[in-house]
A and B are shown apart, each in its own frame.
Chain A
Amino acid sequence: MFRNVAELVEMAESQNKKISDIMIEQEMKVTNRSREDVLTQMERNLVVMEEAVEKGLQGVKSHSGLTGGDAVLIQNYIKTGKSLSGDLLLDAVSKAVATNEVNAAMGTICATPTAGSAGVVPGTLFAVQNKLNPSREEKIRFLFTSGAFGFVVANNASISGAAGGCQAEVGSASGMAAAAIVEMAGGSPAQCAEGMAITLKNMLGLVCDPVAGLVEVPCVKRNAMGAANAMVAADMALAGVTSRIPCDEVIDAMYKIGQTMPVALRETAQGGLAATPTGRELEAKIFGFALDKKG
C-alpha cells in the first residue's frame, strides 16, 4: 500500500505502470475483489458524473436562489467564439460549474473528494475528452488516478473544509484533476505528481467561508477556478515544468496551514465572504435572521 506520493510514483515507475494501475490493483487487494468488479463500480460513479453535468448544462436553480444557471451562460459564451482563455479551458470551467450547481440544488452527484468540490474532476475530464478522445476505460482510469492522489491527501492531510479549509477540498480536487489530466495526455507518473504539486501550491491558504453556510457562494466559482488551475498546471507539468517543493511536502504544508487556520474560516460561516455585509444580508434573507446574531 502506498503511503505518500513518492511511494506511489516509485511503484508505478519501477513496474512500468500507470498511476491508475497501482490504484486499481491496491483497491482489488484491499477489498478482495476482481478487477472487473472494481472497474464496474467506478463506471457507475462516472455515469453519475455524466448525468450531473448534463443536468447542470440544461440549467438548474438552488432552493436559496443563490446559484444556478452560470454553466449555461458560459456554454453560450463559448458558442460565440469570442472566448479569450480558450474553449477547452472554459468548457472545463462550465462543466465544473454545472456539477456544483446540481449539487447546490440537492441533486445527485458523486463526491470527488467531497460534494463541495465535486465539479473539478468531472469538469476537467469531460472537457479534455473532446481533445484526447479517450476510450471508456481511459475515462474510468482518470477517476482512479484522481483517486490515488486524493487518497494520499486524505490520509496524510485532510479533505474536509471544516478541518482544513477550501484548500483541502477544492485544492485537493484540483490537484487530483491535474494529475489525472497529465496521465490521460500521456505524461509519466512523475509528471502527474508535478501537476498535483504545482496545482496544490496555488491553492494553499484558501479558506472555507460559505455564505449562509451553504455550499453555493463561493463554492461553485471556486470549482470553476479549481478546474482552470488544474488544466493550466497539467499543461505546465506536461511541458516539463517541475515543482521545487516535492508533492508530499506541499501536501504536508497544506495540512499544517489547515491546522493553524482560524475556526471562523473553516466552514462555520463566521468569517471571510460569509461575514461580508452582502454575505450577511443574503444569509438574513434566506433564513430570516443572520447566523452570527442568533441566540
Chain B
Amino acid sequence: MKYKSVFEIIGPVMIGPSSSHTAGAARIGKMARELFGREPKWANISFYGSFAKTYKGHGTDVALIGGLMDFETDDERIINAFEHAKKKKIKIRIREEEAVTDHPNTARILIGDDNGEMELVGISIGGGKIEIIELNGFELKLTGHHPAILVVHDDRFGAIAAVSNILASHKINIGHMDVSRKDIGQMALMTIEVDQNVEEVVLKELKQLPEVTQVTRIAN
C-alpha cells in the first residue's frame, strides 16, 4: 500500500496552491538537499509533464528551490524563494522538457558545489507524497516516510550481509531494502529503509567496511 498514514490524506499543512505541484516539489527539493548533505551552490532543475506545463502557476519552481534551502512545506519563505536563493548566491537554472516520463509530475535535479555534484529524479504522486526514483544513475525508491540509509558499495558477494550484520548488531530492523547496480561487479547502491533513526556510530562502522565507499543517512 502506497499510503500508510492518515496524515498523508489529511495533511500536509502547506503553502498553497497545489499539494502535488507545490508541497510535493518542496519535499523533493528538501530530500535532494538531505541526500547531498549540504546546501548546494547551484541547481539545474528540469521539469517534465504536468510539472513542465504548469510549474509557474503552481509555484513548483519556488517550492523546489525552497526545499533545496531546507524550507518545510508550510514555510512562508517559499513564496520568495528566488530572492532567498539570490541572497545565498545559489545559481538556479530551470528547463521545461518535452520528453514524456512514466509519471506526469517528474523533476530531474542536478545540484552541486565546489566539492561535488549529485543528480536525482523525483516524482510527486499526489497529496504531497513523493518518491525519489533515481539517484546518480541508480534506480531506487525512496519515500522519506521512514528513516533510511543509502550505501554505495562494490557489487561483490557478502557486501549486503556485512551491512545487514552491522545493522542487526545495533538492533536496527530493516523495513524495506532495494539493491541496484550499474553492472555486474561494478558500483552498486543499497537503499535501506529502517524503523529507527540510525546513530552516527552505526554510519561510522558501515563506512569502515572494505566494500563500502559512501554512506548517507535520511532522517525521518
Contact = CB atoms under 8 A, between A and B. Distances in A.
Interface stretch (B3-11, B184-192, B198-206): B3-11
Contacts of B18: 114-116, 215
Contacts of B11: 45, 110-112
A23 B4 CA distance: 11
Interface stretch (A78-86, A98-106, A129-137, A247-255): A98-106
A151 B6 contact: yes
A71 interface: no
Interface stretch (B51-59, B132-140, B157-165): B51-59
B219 interface: no
Nearest to A24: B6
Contact of A108 (B14, B21, B53): B14
Nearest to A1: B1
B143 interface: no
B96 interface: yes
Interface string B147-172: 00000000000000000000000000
A215 B18 CA distance: 7
B50 A216 contact: no
B56 A112 contact: no
A102 B6 contact: no
Contacts, number: 170
A114 B6 contact: no
Residue from B18, B23, B98 having most chain A Cβ neighbours under 10 A: B18
A150 B20 contact: no
Given A213-B54, A267-B54, A45 B13 contact: yes
Interface residues of A, number: 63
A199 interface: no
Contacts of B12: 110-111
Given A30-B5, A151-B3, A155-B2, A106 B79 contact: yes
Interface string B34-61: 0000000000000001100110111100
B5 A115 contact: no
A112 B6 CA distance: 10
B15 to A, nearest CB: 6
B21 to A, nearest CB: 8
A154 B9 contact: yes
Contacts of B76: 108
Given A213-B56, A270-B53, A291-B53, A102 B16 contact: yes
Nearest to A47: B13
A21 interface: no
A106 B6 contact: no
B126 interface: yes
A94 interface: no
B9 A150 contact: yes
A26 B14 CA distance: 24
A206 interface: no
B144 interface: no
B104 A287 contact: no
Interface in B79-128: 79, 96, 98, 104-105, 125-128
Given A27-B7, A108-B14, 4 more contacts: A115-B16, A154-B3, A286-B57, A287-B56
Interface of A: 1, 3, 23, 26-27, 30-31, 41-42, 44-45, 48, 64, 102-116, 118, 121, 143-144, 146-148, 150-151, 154-155, 158-163, 168, 176, 210, 212-216, 263, 266-270, 286-287, 291, 295
The 6 residue pairs across chains A and B that have the minimum distance between CB atoms: A213-B54, A160-B126, A103-B16, A215-B17, A214-B57, A150-B9
13 contacts: A42-B6, A45-B10, A106-B79, A113-B9, A115-B16, A115-B18, A115-B22, A147-B10, A160-B125, A162-B126, A267-B104, A268-B53, A269-B53
